[in-house]
Amino acid sequence: MTALRCIILVQIATTAALGQLDQPRETAKQTARSDAVVRSFYREIVARHPLGIPRRADMKALAPYISNALARRLDTALACESDYYRLHHDPTLKPQIEWLEFGLFSGAWEEALPASFHVKGTQPEKDGSFHVDVGFTYGKPGDALRWHVTVIVVEESQHFVVDDVIYLKDEGDPGDVEPPLSKVLTLGCDGPRWVGYETD
């Protein structure tokens, strides 16, 4: 083997090795960026406690952290909500819409009103998304309700944004989940049309 060939092989091997070192470093940077977006997003959620589909000032504050796909899903669900009210005129009846009193990004009932949150961990996925585990508390210290969700973060136009939320039923069982936000926003709807819930 000539000296020139040896030098070329060493350069190729060095470039490959440095590329492999850069991959974990790049993943660590992306993980930190996805965490930062989730932290900023949930600071707004804890401050605002939006119920149902965010509107006006709430939506303006949350929009920079929401993916285009999630924004479209929210718009479609809002159109479906409007269609429901067009079809149901009786103000004495409680609306059947699933998400009206729901904290779309944290959960239902008390879970719609988190007092605090913390990022528990982040997992990079093969599809390029990141699953960020977020824990919440509600109530007085020592007697607080605790729960968590998994937030799916994707990169869009070189920025990380929230694309979906998975509601976990039991902190001890990560496989025990409710329908995700993307599914909740379609309940009772056929696109922008209200069709009601399926009956058995």
Per-residue pLDDT tens listing for the chain (200 residues) = 565 454 444 444 444 444 444 457 777 888 889 999 999 999 999 999 999 999 999 999 999 999 999 999 999 999 999 999 999 888 788 888 989 889 999 998 889 999 999 999 999 999 999 999 999 999 877 778 899 999 999 999 999 999 999 998 765 455 566 889 999 999 999 999 999 987 64
Strand ranges in 48-186 using DSSP code E only, listed in sequence order = 102-103, 107-108, 116-124, 130-138, 145-156, 159-170, 173-177
CA 127/CA 188 separation, integer angstroms: 30
Q: How far apart are CA 199 and CA 195, in angstroms?
A: 12
Parallel, antiparallel or unpaired: strands 145-156 and 159-170: antiparallel
Q: How far apart are CA 82 and CA 71, in angstroms?
A: 17
Domains of the chain with CATH codes: 34-194 (3.10.450.50)
Torsion, Cα 79 80 82 83, to 10 degrees, reads 120
Number of H helices, E strands in the chain: 4, 9
Cβ pair 187, 75 in contact under 8 A: no
Radius of gyration of the chain (CA): 22
Evaluate whether 126 touches 113 at the Cβ level (below 8 Å). no
